[in-house]
Amino acid sequence: MSLSNVSIDGARLLADLHRLRRFGSYKTGVHRPTYSEPDMAARTWIADRMREAGLTPEIDGIGNVIGRGEGGPRLLLGSHSETQNHAGWLDGALGVIYGLEVARALGRGVDVVSWADEEGHYAGFTGSRSYVGELSDDETAAARNRYDGTTLPDALAKAGLAGKSRARYEPGRYRGYLEAHIEQGDDLESHALRIGIVTSIVAIWQFRVDFEGTQNHAGTTRMAIRRDAGVALVKLAGEVERRFPGVAGPRSVWTVGRITLDPGAASIIPGHAEMLLQFRDADPATLERMEAELRAIVADANAAGGCAVSLHALSRGTPKLCDAAIQDALERAAERFAPGLHQRMPSGAGHDAQLLAKVMPAGMLFVPSIGGISHHWSEDTAEDDIVLGCQVMAAAVADLLAA
């Protein structure tokens, strides 16, 4: 069999995905938090599957499962295998099992990885950041489970990982990293497309807006003399909603994810209020325009008088571009197996690939999410689409290895 005619085993792929789904199953989804019993059992099972595929598996000191083979050239394929709480069966799992199936189908040239804690029960992208050298010992010591407060070192010890070394990126080992993932949105489905070739992973810019008013009695303070920080916040949020469409790009998104009124009581005029605003886009110029508009909205609010409004930038990420040669290989493969039913598109969600892109060429493939639903137990993808995506991935990998 030549590499270019590689053919995956769809039944084997689906059987493995459904087997992995049983670790921590919840309704039709999965509850498999990082380092929990089902997560570690799933990781051991994945390591066993890697061994069966002829790879040498290792579960490293942060929980990454890496299966390595012999000889070159090589590509690294994978994703993460823990889930959000009470979430879906394919987020992460799909990319790991695609890696396994492509490694089996090709029989050479593919290492497979399941990163730990992409979903951030402890730190976020914990395993892939460890691999690329961006998880410090200080952060490891300080990280805590965001739901129950367990420290990361305690969780690692309980999972049997204490004292194990962490796998690190080996320069020169790989031609690149490929990650398949469910889209987690409805762009593919709404355009009746079956494959997405990811061009970039969007950057997230986050801001906090503070409003200073005057706290006072809700019954005795005349409306004319009030400085209500809550009202100022709601008005500004409305201005963002009204004005951002004029400066945003076609795929920009923005969210007021949290508002706080202080003191937050029914009979007290809020003297202080805060809101968290984030926006995402793959184009830095668009992000700059949105920030400039936000600053103008804040300036207008201050000019109008009343409450004092101040803007604080919390973080400004950088979009991570996917490798051009990997995009081309994925597109050729998509055109071969799903002619006309694919598109290039940015990823609105973060993925381990954005970390791997820092050390090697990286690319991503999306399959449709039914109804655009993800991070929920009802998350699903049609089995035909799951099999097609893996076939496209395998052909692209064969192409890249043959180049």
**Placement of tokens 């061009």 in the chain:** 199
The per-residue DSSP string of 264-281 comes to: --TTEE-SEEEEEEEEEE
**In terms of CB distance, is 201 or 395 closer to Zn ion?**
201
Q: What six digits make up the tokens of 189?
A: 């489905």
CA proximity to 93, closest of 112, 111, 78, 110: 78
**In terms of CB distance, is 183 or 189 closer to Zn ion?**
183
**In terms of CB distance, is 81 or 286 closer to Zn ion?**
81
Secondary element (H or E) of residue 200 = strand 195-201
Q: How many CB atoms lie within 10 A of CB 165?
A: 9
d(CA 362, CA 351): 11
**In terms of CB distance, is 57 or 92 closer to Zn ion?**
92
Q: Which positions from 173 to 212 touch Zn ion by CB under 5 A, shown as an x/- string?
A: ----------------------------------------
d(CA 122, CA 2): 44
**In terms of CB distance, is 16 or 210 closer to Zn ion?**
16
The number of CA neighbours under 13 Å toward the Cβ of 294 is 25
Exactly one of 29, 63, 92, 348 binds Zn ion (CB under 5 A); that residue is 92
d(CA 99, CA 82): 16
**In terms of CB distance, is 124 or 153 closer to Zn ion?**
124
Question: Least separation, in Å, of the C-beta of 92 and Zn ion?
Answer: 4
Does 91 participate in binding Zn ion (rule CB under 5 A)? yes
Pairing type for strands 110-115 and 75-80 reads parallel
**Residues touching Zn ion: how many (CB under 5 A)?**
2
Question: Least separation, in Å, of the C-beta of 91 and Zn ion?
Answer: 4
Does 323 participate in binding Zn ion (rule CB under 5 A)? no
Does 117 participate in binding Zn ion (rule CB under 5 A)? no
Question: Least separation, in Å, of the C-beta of 232 and Zn ion?
Answer: 37
Residues of this chain that interact with Zn ion (CB under 5 A) are 91-92
